[in-house]
Amino acid sequence: MKKFIKGVRFAPKNYSDEVEVKIQHYKKEGYKLPSRHLLRTEEQLAGIRESAKINTALLDYISTNIREGMSTAEIDHMVYEFTTDHDAIPAPFMYEGFPKSVCTSINDVVCHGIPSTKEFLRSGDIVNVDVSTIYKGYFSDASRMYMIGEVKPEMQRLVQVAKECRDIGVQTAQPWARLGDVGAAIQEHAEKNGYSVVRDLCGHGVGIKFHEEPDVEHFGKRGTGMLIVPGMTFTIEPMINMGTYEVFIDEADGWTVCTDDGLPSAQWESMLLITENGNEILTE
Ligand code: MF3
Ligand code: CO
């Protein structure tokens, strides 16, 4: 009998026999599969769900309270207070040096906007509020768009189509489909509407860490990329631009991602659990 090296643990069973059979089949066929630790155990899922519940409640709280004239620092304050009141931690805070508890991204800011006491929500703005929560060590992540006051019809349409892109991505993220199917479906819908999909930032695995494997690109080719397997938890968060998909990072703060042409960008983000017969939205 072979001996186990000291420290090797028995992994808890994290998928059914049916899933195991399919995994073995696809492995033989040479598909790219998620590594085993990305398939959540029941215990992990229970924690991730609790985290996600707080994250959704936080977005609902923001939806109720966001107002024209408010500074983005006030949004940050709401996020910090609500999260800590629920015994949770805002995941962005001090994440790789990010200085605030939430990302607030207005108009031509694509993502990772830093809240500021000097930045105010004005009529006509579209703003993405991206919140991520750590509860008992488990991570959740989602974002919504808000339209402030009177928003130009062409910007309203961008916000609407970006939401449709996210929803189409979610519908496509089925067990035993491929990540490339998700990207292709999103890209097709964006481009059909005359918009572009940001290439330089992607969705991601999330749950045990803030950002895990796999990368979830919002563009691509059907029938390519990693196989989507029950037990995976990841985000779909397409950034849709009115003009070019090219972006740059503001040198002054090292975070703020802006469109290259200064035209607006919109993003909605959901976090999903892949199940044996479909998927479940954990937070959005
Ligand atoms: N919430 C963002 C995402 O969707 C990540 C923000 S990282 C931060 O992945 F450091 F800017 F907070
Ligand atoms: Co995310």
CATH topology of domain 38-283: Creatine Amidinohydrolase (3.90.230)
For residue 269 and ligand 1, the question of a CB distance below 6 A is answered with yes
For residue 95 and ligand 1, the question of a CB distance below 6 A is answered with yes
CA of 206 to the centre of ligand 2 (A): 8
Cα gap 171→185, rounded to integer Å = 9
Model confidence at 10: pLDDT above 60 = no
- Per-residue pLDDT, 9: 57
| Mean pLDDT, residues 161-190 taken together | 98
Model confidence at 228: pLDDT above 80 = yes
Give the residue, by CA position, lying nearest to ligand 1 atom 1.
130
Model confidence at 224: pLDDT above 90 = yes
pTM, 2 dp: 0.95
User: Which ligand gives the minimal distance to the CA of 109?
Assistant: 1
| Mean pLDDT, residues 147-173 taken together | 98
The closest alpha carbon to 128, from 104, 151, 92, belongs to: 104
- Per-residue pLDDT, 15: 77
Tokens linked to 26: 């696809």
Q: Which amino acid is at 1?
A: M
Mean pLDDT of the chain: 96
| Mean pLDDT, residues 264-272 taken together | 98
For residue 92 and ligand 1, the question of a CB distance below 6 A is answered with yes
| Mean pLDDT, residues 247-263 taken together | 98
Q: Are 132 and 139 in contact (CB under 8 A)?
A: yes
Assign 17 a pLDDT band (cuts: 50, 70, 90): confident
Tokens linked to 259: 């469109």
Q: Which amino acid is at 107?
A: N
